[in-house]
Amino acid sequence: MNVNVIIALDTRRKKKDGTYPIILRLSRDERTLPIPSKYSVPLNDWDDKKREIKNSYKGLTSVARLNNILSSQKKNARDIILKLQETEKLDGMTLADIKNRIFRQSASASFITYADEQVAALNEARRFGTARWYASTVSVLKDFVNDKPYENTGKSKNNSGELYEGKDIKFEDITHKFLTKFETAHYKDGNTVNGLSFYMRAIRAIYNKAVKDGLIDKEAYPFDDYKIKTEPTVKRALDWNLLKKIITLELDAAHECFYARNYFVASYMMYGMNFTDMAYLEKSAVTDGRINYRRRKTGKLYDIKITPALEKIISNYINLSPGSPYVFPILKRDTPEEQDKEVQWARKRYNKKLKKLAELCGVSQNLTTYVSRHSFATQAMLSEVPINAISTMLGHSSLKTTEIYLKSLPSNILDDYNAKIMEM
């Protein structure tokens, strides 16, 4: 089925300034749909036969340039239609589907607008953590491209002096050159390699989604050439002796670190369960001496045997708040948005208490919510648990992620290995 595209003046919609919108008009089977071009001209300055703006138009300095832009929009629309036809997708699409594809899959498609749509969709799906990640990345990108005002034109420039419309960034702007300049600006501000990786991985994830959605072509993909770099982080796992100090530390229920120590130990004993999953762990998940729950981040189902030490901690909290559906007294509000804020706030308080707990136990390294998870992975490895099993217990989708957790053995273990080698 043929789909025709023409440039036209929409004479049905007169604007307040007396001009009429210029559109791309799609037609198929006697049905038509308009695609806005963002331009408009007076009726007298439109040549309906040539389907272009007349030279008499005084609204801009170069009529020829605007006509070229309109011709380019038409060509882009035709290219998209031909690609759909070549891939045998066109016949199965409605005219509205085709319009939407053309409208979004243009050279001027907005990365910022698309990213904002993804943030909204993630919030709707209650994936608040990923939504915050994307939103913070978009915010940093906006700051980058709008570094300084530019000659009162309503435009702005990034650190390289290249122009961008307002605070928008187009997909066509995100090139290897753009990413490299963003990297330079990031380091110039004294930021870290892993901090840059945080933003670059979000940009890549959003870009990949846009490719999958058919918004842009894979040909322009910048991450084939630009490689995201990371640096090894400070070892997070605790040695067993330090872990044992935390586990066996006697604390009164009124002590300011009582909850923090219990959360840390419970996390360690539940395969390194992260703080968010602990916050949402329901009492109904605790049955017949086991914990059955689904991880919020990946949807992976867990089935964990409750040890006597873990039973003591869990029973204490279940009995502490009989009216709550949750094991731990972290969530008290009802809406997903409010609960997400509660988790964020509780995590901050938890990390502060962990610093004081570290002082009590003589732990010199930074004690955070992630340390229990990394410590569990390291102790499992030292106990010669197969890496496949460790990966399953941590809920990782690939062994590569597990290897990141296990990339640095404690120095004393390496010393023992070296001593055995020297004895040979």
The model's pLDDT over 319-363, given as tens digits with 9 standing for 90+, comes to: 888 889 999 999 999 898 999 999 999 999 999 999 999 999 999
Q: Virtual CA dihedral for 412, 415, 416, 418, nearest 10 degrees?
A: 160
CB of 183 closer than 8 Å to CB of 196: yes
With tokens 């867990």, the residue in question is 302
pLDDT digit string (tens) for 219-246?
A: 778 999 999 988 766 667 888 889 999 9
d(CA 52, CA 50): 6
d(CA 119, CA 134): 6
d(CA 369, CA 353): 11
Kindly tell me if the per-residue pLDDT of 125 is higher than 90.
no
Give residue 102's pLDDT band: very low, low, confident or very high (50, 70, 90).
Answer: confident
152 vs 386, residue with greater confidence = 386
CB of 237 closer than 8 Å to CB of 410: yes
- For the record, the structure tokens of 369 come out as 């919510």
What's the one-letter identity of residue 294? R
Instruction: Please state which of the ranges 102-106, 212-216, 319-323 shows the lowest mean pLDDT.
Output: 102-106
Q: What secondary structure does DSSP assign to 230-278, as a single string?
A: --PPPP-PPPHHHHHHHHH----TTSTTHHHHHHHHHHHHTTS--HHHH
- For the record, the structure tokens of 121 come out as 């969709």
Averaged pLDDT, 263-284: 94
pLDDT score at 157? 43
pLDDT score at 39? 85
pLDDT score at 370? 86
pLDDT score at 106? 61
CB of 38 closer than 8 Å to CB of 51: no
- For the record, the structure tokens of 347 come out as 């995590």
Question: With b meaning 16 or more CB within 10 Å and e meaning fewer, what string describes 143-154?
Answer: ebbbeeeeeeee
Kindly tell me if the per-residue pLDDT of 264 is higher than 90.
yes
Averaged pLDDT, 146-154: 43
User: If you average pLDDT over every residue of the chain, what do you get?
Assistant: 84
- How many C-beta atoms lie closer than 10 Å to residue 392's C-beta? 14
pLDDT score at 407? 65
55 vs 163, residue with greater confidence = 55
Domains and CATH numbers, the chain: 4-104 (no CATH), 111-224 (no CATH), 240-419 (1.10.443.10)
Give residue 150's pLDDT band: very low, low, confident or very high (50, 70, 90).
Answer: very low
318 vs 61, residue with greater confidence = 318
Which contacts (CB < 8 Å, 24+ apart) does range 122-128 have? 123/337, 126/336, 126/340, 128/336, 128/337, 128/340
The model's pTM is 0.65
Q: Are strands 155-157 and 20-28 parallel, antiparallel or unpaired?
A: unpaired
Q: Which of 279, 275, 276, 302 is nearest to 291 (CA)?
A: 302
Kindly tell me if the per-residue pLDDT of 154 is higher than 80.
no
pLDDT score at 266? 95
70: phi then psi, degrees, rounded to nearest 5: -65, -40
pLDDT score at 254? 93
Q: Between helices 336-361 and 240-248, what is the axis angle to 10°?
A: 110
Instruction: Give the three-state DSSP class for 18.
Output: coil
- How many C-beta atoms lie closer than 10 Å to residue 36's C-beta? 13
Q: Which of 82, 368, 94 is nearest to 238 (CA)?
A: 368
Helices vs strands, H then E, count in the chain: 15, 11
DSSP 31: E
The beta-strand segments (E) located in 14-114 are: 20-28, 31-41, 46-47, 52-53
Averaged pLDDT, 207-226: 83
CB of 166 closer than 8 Å to CB of 141: no
On the 0-12 / 13-18 / 19+ scale of CB atoms within 10 A, 414 is exposed
Q: How far is CA 304 from CA 142, 319, 359, in A?
A: 45, 21, 31
Kindly tell me if the per-residue pLDDT of 165 is higher than 60.
no
Kindly tell me if the per-residue pLDDT of 251 is higher than 60.
yes
pLDDT score at 156? 40
pLDDT score at 160? 38
